[in-house]
A = this chain, B = another copy of it.
Amino acid sequence: MSDYLPGLEGVPATQSNISDIDGEKGILSYRGYPISELASKSTFEETCLLLLDGQLPSAHDLAVFDEQLRRNRRVKYNIRTLMKALPSTGHPMEILQTSVASLGMFYPANECLTDPESCKDLDYVHNMTVKIIARMPVLMCMWEHIRRGYDPIEPRNDLTFSENLLYMLTGNEPEPVFVDIMDTCLILHAEHTINASTFAALVTGSTLASPYGVMAAAIGTLAGPLHGGANEKVVDMLKDIGEPKNAKAWLDKKLANKEKIWGMGHREYKVKDPRATILQGLFEKLVTERGGEISPSFEIALALEAAAEERLAAKGVFPNVDFYSGILYAEMGIPTDQFTPIFAVSRAAGWLAHWREQLVDNRIFRPTQVYTGEPVRTYEPLSQRG
């Protein structure tokens, strides 16, 4: 038996050709393409197809996929009924897990349930993938209205993925700069090697469970405060600071007490997280575009970033992807508790790419344990116990 390594740290759980992190050079690549190139040159739709198929699509294949995504946005009205039965206090991640789990009944994966081997059929896999990627943002946006007592905004198929997401969320056609930001955020969060939620997708997928069940497992895993949710904490942190002039003193106090500063540093990267650099560019662009009209929390973020630059950059600690994405989402008026669902909408592409890869060369996950319990002992009848 191999050594026991808590959290399986450093233990290879799979062979994968989807993404790679070069922590020394600060390069995250999807199928070999650096994230910096994808963020500036690609779209979320194209990035999905790249992650799924392994190469950049032809113009024709991209157009077909884009059309498939647009045609799969509508959801049956009983899903609205289901959501209306849920308490309005439900966290959007709980709603997403519940509604994605239900999706399999409305858009069945029958081929898979009746014949395990057909799970490996790439047409089936692609079909399921489209149904899920297209509908996840729709489910997320439906809840934003239903929890407030309103009917959801119907999806529009004349809009891109990111345009439609923002449109359904707010009911208004979004400003182009917000569409750019959202599309970039979706590209940046779509995949990040084997993290806890992606691993959960592999484990669940390895029993040949339905892709909806696989996604529900991954969503439930991402919902944990140790995984998704750091960008929500950034917004709370800015509220805690209160005013831009407090930022420096607040940071010094936290550093002196060795407390965690949300949205700073990343264990995978020895240099600056490439995703943070990209978002920082968008952040600066938005500041320029907005001139003096930026929000108070945005000003606090700028002050905190300047203070962190002074104190932490020399130690290799930089604002990371969570620092900027939270601030940018808040600036678009997106409620804080929808940040992790947006992460899930994006990461669904990576989860499904890993699900597909798992099916092609599947082996059920059944690790072992180090048993530390009692040796075999004799049962004592209830009457003889203390």
List 30 contacting pairs A-B, 8 Å CB cutoff, sorted by A. Answer: A1-B10, A2-B5, A7-B366, A8-B366, A9-B363, A12-B368, A12-B369, A14-B367, A27-B376, A78-B87, A87-B105, A87-B106, A194-B367, A195-B366, A200-B217, A204-B220, A207-B225, A208-B225, A209-B221, A209-B223, A209-B224, A209-B227, A210-B224, A213-B219, A213-B220, A213-B223, A214-B220, A216-B220, A217-B217, A217-B221
Contact with B along A29-65 (1 / 0, CB 8 A): 1011110011001100010000000101111001000
CA distance A88 to B208 in the complex (A): 23
- Residues of chain B within 8 A (CB-CB) of A81 are 81, 85
Q: Which residue of B lies closest to A13 (CB)?
A: B367
Minimum CB–CB distance for A111 against chain B, Å: 12
Which residues of A from 332 to 384 have beta carbons under 8 Å from B? Answer: 361, 363-383
- Is there contact, CB below 8 Å, between A32 and B374? yes
CB distance from A265 to the nearest CB of B (A): 16
Also in contact, A226 and B206, with CB within 8 A (given A10-B368, A366-B9, A374-B17): yes
- Are B10 and A369 in contact (CB-based, < 8 A)? no
Query: Once the chains bind, are B193 and A200 in contact (CB under 8 Å)?
Result: no
Distance in angstroms between the alpha carbons of A219 and B371 in the assembled complex:
24
Residues of B near A15 (CB, < 8 A) are 4, 369-370, 372
User: What residue of chain B has the Cβ atom nearest to residue A77's Cβ?
Assistant: B85
User: Cβ of A11: which chain B residues have Cβ within 8 Å of it?
Assistant: 1-2, 8, 11, 367-368
Say whether A102 faces chain B, with CB atoms less than 8 Å apart.
yes
- Interface membership of A323, Cβ < 8 A: no
| CB neighbours of A199 from chain B (8 A) | 203, 365-367
B20 near A371 (CB under 8 angstroms)?
yes
Which residues of B sit under 8 angstroms from A373, Cβ to Cβ?
16-20, 31-32, 54
A385 at the interface (CB under 8 A from B): yes
Chain B CB within 10 A, most for which of A27, A214, A224, A372 = A224
Q: A7-B363, A203-B199, A368-B13 are in contact. Are A113 and B41 (CB under 8 A)?
A: no
Chain A residues with a Cβ under 8 A of chain B: 1-20, 22, 27, 29, 31-34, 37-38, 41-42, 46, 54, 56-59, 62, 78-79, 81-82, 85-87, 89-91, 93-95, 97-98, 101-102, 104-106, 108, 113, 116, 193-197, 199-200, 203-210, 212-214, 216-217, 219-228, 361, 363-383, 385-386
B200 contacts A203, C-beta separation under 8 Å: yes
Complex Cα distance, B7 from A56, in Å, reads 30
With most chain B CB atoms within 10 A of its CB, the pick from A19, A203, A225 is A203
Given A3-B12, A78-B86, 18 new contacts (CB under 8 A): A4-B12, A4-B14, A7-B363, A20-B371, A56-B382, A62-B382, A82-B86, A91-B113, A94-B212, A94-B213, A95-B105, A101-B220, A196-B203, A197-B207, A199-B203, A207-B227, A209-B221, A209-B224
| Alpha-carbon gap, A49 to B370, bound state (A) | 22
Indicate if the CB atoms of B12 and A226 lie closer than 8 Å.
no
The residue that A7 contacts in the complex, of B87, B108, B206, with Cβ under 8 A, is B206
